[in-house]
Amino acid sequence: MVFAKAWFTVSLGFFDDIYVPAHQLPQPCHQIPDPDRRYKVRWIWEYDIEDTGNPEQYNIDGLDEVKLQVLNVSFPPLPIEQQEKPFAPMLVTGSISECGLGPVSWW
């Protein structure tokens, strides 16, 4: 997984264009700079099962195997000119906000 400010991407090894937007993460969550990888961030899900005001923190650090729900598959039109990023013929949008989804280590 690669993190940006508003989403992270999931790779299947042979396909890298699976995006999980921040609003499709478990809530409440926030991001922090990754101390181990420069220019990357970690997402932190704060889960307070007992409403104690002392939530447990669960990391999404980009190295985990994740389970996600596919929300949308789109096929963008071919660009006339491509200068920055290689063209992605298919884009997948997913969610990890439901119970049982997210890093496998959580469950």
| Cα gap 43→22, rounded to integer Å | 9
Q: Residue 1: its pLDDT value, please?
A: 58
Task: Write out pLDDT tens, residues 3-46.
Answer: 556 888 888 888 888 999 999 999 999 888 888 877 778 889 99
- The pair of three-digit structure tokens given for residue 10, joined into one six-digit string: 């999931």
At residue 4, the pLDDT reads 54
**Residue 89: band (very low, low, confident or very high) from pLDDT cuts 50, 70, 90:** confident
CATH number of the CATH domain containing 100 = 2.40.50.140
**Distance from CA of residue 55 to its chain's centroid?**
21
The domain total for the chain is 1
pLDDT 10s digits, 38-71: 777 888 999 988 777 788 999 887 778 999 999 9
- State the DSSP code for 100: T
Q: What is the domain range of residue 43? A: 2-106
